[in-house]
A = this chain, B = another copy of it.
Amino acid sequence: MARKPKLRTNAPDALKAKVLDVASELFQSQGYHATGMADIVKGAGVTAGGLHHHFPTKKAIGLAVLRERVRPAVAQTWITPVALAKSAAEGVEAVFAAITAELDAKKAVRGCPLNNLTLELSLADPDFRAEMAKTFAQWETVLAQRIRADGLRDADSAAVLVIAAYSGAMAMAKAEQSSEPLKICGRRLTQMLRTAA
Contact = CB atoms under 8 A, between A and B. Distances in A.
A77 to B, nearest CB: 16
A87 to B, nearest CB: 19
A115 B177 CA distance: 14
Interface stretch (A5-13, A48-56, A183-191): A183-191
Nearest to A164: B168
A41 B128 CA distance: 28
A62 interface: no
Interface in A146-197: 154, 156-158, 160-161, 163-169, 171-172, 174-177, 181, 184-185, 187-189, 192
A122 B132 CA distance: 22
B171 A185 contact: no
Please tell me the size bucket of the interface on A.
35 or more
Copies of chain A in the complex = 2
A185 B164 contact: yes
B184 A160 contact: yes
Contacts of A33: 31, 33-34
Contact of A129 (B31, B119, B132, B177): B177
Contacts of A137: 176
A57 interface: no
Contacts of A154: 188
Closest 5 CB pairs of A and B: A167-B168, A168-B168, A164-B168, A33-B33, A164-B169
Interface of A: 29-31, 33-34, 108, 110-111, 115-116, 118-120, 122-124, 129, 132-133, 136-137, 154, 156-158, 160-161, 163-169, 171-172, 174-177, 181, 184-185, 187-189, 192
